[in-house]
Amino acid sequence: MQDLKIAMVQSFQHWEDIDANLKMFGEKIRSISEPVDIIVLPEMFSTGFSMNPASLYETMDGKAVNWMKAMASESKAVIAGSLIIKENENYYNRLVWIRPDGSYNTYDKRHLFSMAGEEKVFAPGSEKLIVVVNGWKICPMVCYDLRFPVWIRNVENYDLLLFVANWPDKRIEHWRKLLQARAIENQCFVVGVNRVGLDGNEIPYTGHSMFVNSQGEIQAEIIDEEKIEIINLNDESLNITRKYMPFLNDRDGFRFE
C-alpha cells in the first residue's frame, strides 16, 4: 500500500447553521497547505448534533453535499463527514465519502444514541461500508458505533477504522480507550475526529481527535483546541503486527442479524 495522508479537522460547530458551517469548514480546508488524500470532518458537521432533522435535512443533491463535491474537487482529496439526509421519508445521520471526481459512497449510522433520543427521529443504517484509497481498505463509522464491537468487527480485513463524532467531554475517557481497544482487537489503524466547544444544548466537547496504531498506541492527539492535524499512515508497522501476532486468524465467525 502507498502511504496515506489524512487531515483531521477538529473544530467548533455553529449550532443548526448550515451556511455558517460550510463557510467555516471551507476556510479551514483551504488553509491546508500540503497535499492530502482524505480530509475528515466531525459528525453532523453542517449543523452540530441536532435532533431537529425536519427543519435541517438535506437531500443527496442538496447544498451541503454539493459543497462537499466542490471541496473535494478543489482540494483534490476525499472529503468525509456526516450530515442529516432525508431519503424515502426517513432521516439518516449519513456519513458521505466524496472523491475529487464527484463519485461518492455513503454509510448510515447504525447505532443511534438513545440517551439523546436519536432513534426517535432518525432511521438506523443496515450495511457497513468499505472504501479503498491508495490500496488501504477503510471502514468509516459514526460516533456511537464505536461502542459496539460486534458491528465493527474486522471481518472484511480492512486496514483503517475511521470515526467521525460529536463525543462530549463527560465521556471523553470512554472515547479515548475505545479507540485504542478497537485498534487492538481489529489489528488495524484507527482515526477518530471529534469536535470542540459548546453545542446548542450547552454540552461541552474537548476534542481528543486521535490516530491510534494497530498496537493501540496513540500516535497523534488533538486536545481542547481547534486544529487541523496532518497524519501520515505507513503500513510497515501494521504488516509487522499482523505477521508476528496473527490474532485475526483465530477470530470467531459470525453473521450479523
In the chain, the amino acid numbered 78 is: V
**Residue among 152, 71, 151 nearest 104 (CA):** 71
- Residue 135: exposure state from Cβ atoms within 10 A (0-12, 13-18, ≥19): exposed
**Residue among 133, 85, 90 nearest 106 (CA):** 85
Hey, what's the cell of 2?
A: 502507498
Active site residues: 43, 109, 143
pLDDT band of residue 253 (cuts 50, 70, 90) is confident
Percent of the chain with pLDDT over 90: 97
Angle at 169 between CA 42 and CA 161, to 5 degrees: 40
pLDDT band of residue 257 (cuts 50, 70, 90) is low
**Residue among 205, 91, 212 nearest 146 (CA):** 212
**What is the overall mean pLDDT for the chain?**
97
- Please tell me the pTM assigned to this model: 0.97
In the chain, the amino acid numbered 119 is: E
Answer whether residue 254 shows pLDDT above 80. no
Residues 6+ apart with CB under 8 A from 205: 166, 167, 168, 169, 194, 195, 196, 197, 198, 199
Average pLDDT (238-251) is 93
- The backbone region for 48, taken as left when phi is positive above 0, alpha when psi lies in -120 to 50, beta otherwise, is left
Hey, what's the cell of 67?
A: 459543497
- The model's pLDDT over 87-145, given as tens digits with 9 standing for 90+, comes to 999 999 999 999 999 999 999 999 999 999 999 999 999 999 999 999 999 999 999 99
Q: How far apart are CA 157 and CA 80, in angstroms?
A: 21
Q: What is the DSSP pairing of strand 196-198 with strand 218-222?
A: unpaired
Percent of the chain with pLDDT over 70: 98
102-105, Cβ contacts within 8 angstroms, sequence gap of 24 or more = 102/69, 102/72, 102/73, 104/65, 104/68, 104/69, 105/129, 105/131
- The model's pLDDT over 166-210, given as tens digits with 9 standing for 90+, comes to 999 999 999 999 999 999 999 999 999 999 999 999 999 999 999
- The model's pLDDT over 81-98, given as tens digits with 9 standing for 90+, comes to 999 999 999 999 999 999
